Structure 1
Amino acid sequence: MTISKRTLLKSVGALSIGAAISSLDPVEAATKSLEQAPVVGIKRVSAAQADKHTAKVYFTRKIDAEHLIKLYHLVNHDITGRVGIKLHTGERHGPDILPRDMVKAFQAQVPNSTIVETNTLYEGDRYTTKDHLETLKVNGWTFCPVDIMDADGGVDFPVNGKHLKKVTMGARLPNYNSLIVLTHFKGHAMGGFGGSLKNIAIGCASGQVGKRQVHGVAGTPPADWNAWPAKDHFMELLADSGKAVCDHFGRHITFLNVMRRMSVDCDCAGVRAAPPTIPDIGILASTDLLAIDQASVDLVYSLSKKQNHDLVERMESRHGLHQLDAMKALHMGAKTYQLIEI
């Protein structure tokens, strides 16, 4: 059975929000009045409250190559050998994908690195390796090698998850010694939000096997997308898959979340994505997966309701915050984090 992207976005109720709000003020003093999201994976603490087990999340309001590279150098201690940069390269002409020139400058600073991707479960611009390679050219991802990791099939990664015992990843993922998870943080039609967890849990899974496992529809899926697992169950599947990747790389994985042009829709929506209605926030970096996604969510909630309403509604209506609880239950991060502004 093949699945169209249009059917997916329609079935999960992708929002149509109209024109982007262009008059929003920049983020002001977000870290000074930061509130936790209502469902807490881990708690933010001050420098005085932090201990040796507290995860460090570095944060800058400046969104450019210089600051992306600066934050990366604070969390790249165990990035060695052949390095994969897991990036969502997007559907053709997607308006919200990470800026090509920023990624190009970043990749040039990482020796022996390759952008890595996998094909999609739905029919679209990245459904087959042939179409995916053409889409990479259209979107300008031609300045370095890009490895479609499931072009030759998949490989099973074991995991002691809540629901899954193995997840089929792209067959070439084990070719890399280290993984940099470079994520465009935004909304997501099924996940509520797409952070570093979503980038590896779905983004590393093979298109026609692993992604079915992560969506809970291995084998022949129901024709009606509304019958697919969603909300809490889907978030737990994401955590299971993300844990498989993290267990495989151990200390040789690090995370960067870029919070700009945050539509309620994923970059897989391409030109159909709803325009962003929330201001850009900044860049975060951490070696702790749970901490960086928790901190990103907390920064969204720190804004006024006028500014964050649409993205918060997307998160909460899909039970997206359960991603954080699910990661906590699987011991995928520290119990506290400290936000360190650079």
Structure 2
Amino acid sequence: MSKVYFIKNSEANYDQLGKDASELLKRVVSETGHKFEKEVPIKIHFGERGNKTFIPAKCYDGIINYLKEEDVSPSYIETNVLYRGSRTTTKDHIETAKSHGFTQIPIVIADGEIGLEYDEVEINKDFFDKCKIGKGYGKYQQFIVTSHFKGHVAAGFGGSIKQLAMGFASRSGKMEQHTDISPTVEAEKCISCGICVGKCDFDAIDIVDTAEINDSKCTGCAGCIAVCPEGAISNSWVGSDFYEKISEYAYGASKDKDIIYISFIHNITKECDCAGIPMKPITDNIGIVAGKDPVALDTACLDLVQKNSGEKLFEKGRRSLRHGEKIGLGTMEYELIEINKI
């Protein structure tokens, strides 16, 4: 059974949320005997441009200040997204982050300018033998993985597991979690410019009348999606066994790493912060949880949301929890320890 520390907070007071996050981090450090290294990145989601319900930068001030007090050098760390948006390239991603107020500490985009730089982590599980993890993560042994617990159209919910799985994966790692096929070309949008051909390192794209992708050569790196100036190349979002695949990628991301997890159960929307549109919360704010077991943390978040709302919200995501427990990512059995706000 894993311990999950919980501070109840239903207020939309971001200064207080920052204090609560810091207090939870201190509690986990104290209870587990955690010893920080000199550099500890904070895994984060900056929110897609146009999204209004991502967790604001102010909520991270308490964590950052505590780390600095402990003589730890913090940074924000992320990877570029698979789809075309305001976080597809490192340049745009950092600009989006700064426009959303994330200017307190340096920002590291771990998988290169368009998401193609990665290391392979061997896991030998049911769906993957290896995971493609953003190369920049390999520099660090410790992380603080922060999550905004909310809905997700494919995963059921987004929390610690998804932050590890998608947030640590390179573009091709995201691709192989989401789908079983190569990217496709929308012929009416393609202008036959050949930029994708020049970008492909595997000779998998030819220009006939329009760009055509050879499935037998394509490795699913998705670099063509990132560089297409017309947005004519895209991936399918209907891959099989997605719940299990994200659990296995979460296992690969956290393998041999020392991680503290913090999840904000606030601004709980139907879809995730990748949606570049304003959304309304679908249930009340609840608080923040922290611990060292991502499965336990996500299970606690899901249980708290369902209890608070009186509905079985995001229930389909429990599939990823069960698979995560099966492969040794963590346990669904937890003890919820409520502590008082400072």
TM-score interval, smaller chain? 0.7 to 0.9
Aligned partner (choices 173, 184, 209) of residue 210 of structure 1: 173
User: Structure 1 pair 78/290, CA: closer, same or farther in 2 (3 Å)?
Assistant: farther
Query: Which amino acid is 1:245 matched to?
Result: A
TM-score by length of 1: 0.76
- Unaligned 5+ segments in structure 1 are 1-53
Q: Tell me whether 1:234 sits opposite 2:242 in the alignment.
A: yes
CA distance in 2, matches of 1:171, 1:146: 15
CA distance in 2, matches of 1:187, 1:335: 19
User: Structure 1 pair 221/329, CA: closer, same or farther in 2 (3 Å)?
Assistant: farther
Aligned partner (choices 146, 154, 170) of residue 182 of structure 1: 146
Q: Is the 8 A contact 1:255 1:285 kept in 2?
A: yes
Q: Which runs of structure 2 are paired with 1:224-263 in the superposition (5 Å)?
A: 228-230=238-240, 233-249=241-257, 252-263=258-269
Give the drift of 1:218: 6.1
Aligned partner (choices 40, 62, 66) of residue 19 of structure 2: 66
Query: Which amino acid is 1:74 matched to?
Result: R
Give the drift of 1:109: 1.7
- Unaligned 5+ segments in structure 2 are 10-15, 187-233
Give the drift of 1:226: 6.5
Give the drift of 1:303: 2.1
Q: Which runs of structure 2 are paired with 1:259-298 in the superposition (5 Å)?
A: 259-272=265-278, 274-298=279-303
User: Structure 1 pair 304/112, CA: closer, same or farther in 2 (3 Å)?
Assistant: closer
User: Structure 1 pair 82/109, CA: closer, same or farther in 2 (3 Å)?
Assistant: same
Give the drift of 1:98: 1.0
CA distance in 2, matches of 1:283, 1:241: 24
Q: Tell me whether 1:123 sits opposite 2:84 in the alignment.
A: yes
SS of equivalent to 2:281: coil
Q: Is the 8 A contact 1:59 1:285 kept in 2?
A: yes
User: Structure 1 pair 95/59, CA: closer, same or farther in 2 (3 Å)?
Assistant: same
Q: Is the 8 A contact 2:183 2:236 kept in 1?
A: no
Query: Which amino acid is 2:104 matched to?
Result: F
Give the drift of 1:142: 1.3
Query: Which amino acid is 1:112 matched to?
Result: S
Give the drift of 1:221: 5.9
Aligned partner (choices 60, 73, 81) of residue 112 of structure 1: 73
Give the drift of 1:118: 0.5
Q: Is the 8 A contact 1:93 1:139 kept in 2?
A: no
User: Structure 1 pair 99/227, CA: closer, same or farther in 2 (3 Å)?
Assistant: closer
CA distance in 2, matches of 1:56, 1:222: 48
User: Structure 1 pair 227/211, CA: closer, same or farther in 2 (3 Å)?
Assistant: closer
**2:54 match:** 97
SS of equivalent to 1:122: coil
CA distance in 2, matches of 1:129, 1:157: 23
Q: Is the 8 A contact 1:81 1:176 kept in 2?
A: no
Give the drift of 1:93: 4.1
Give the drift of 1:78: 4.2
Give the drift of 1:334: 3.5
**1:199 match:** 163
Q: Is the 8 A contact 2:2 2:296 kept in 1?
A: yes
Q: Is the 8 A contact 1:257 1:285 kept in 2?
A: yes
Q: Is the 8 A contact 2:21 2:62 kept in 1?
A: no
Q: Which has the larger radius of gyration?
A: 2
**Count of residues in Structure 1 that have an aligned counterpart in Structure 2:** 275
Deviations 1:102-141, CA, capped at 9 Å, x for gaps: 2133222222111101101000000111211211121111
**1:147 match:** 108
User: Structure 1 pair 193/248, CA: closer, same or farther in 2 (3 Å)?
Assistant: same
Give the drift of 1:84: 1.4
**2:336 match:** 339
Deviations 1:77-117, CA, capped at 9 Å, x for gaps: 14423211110111124211112112133222222111101
Q: Is the 8 A contact 1:180 1:255 kept in 2?
A: yes
Aligned partner (choices 321, 326, 330) of residue 324 of structure 1: 321
CA distance in 2, matches of 1:297, 1:107: 27
CA distance in 2, matches of 1:126, 1:299: 31
User: Structure 1 pair 196/290, CA: closer, same or farther in 2 (3 Å)?
Assistant: same
CA distance in 1, matches of 2:332, 2:159: 19
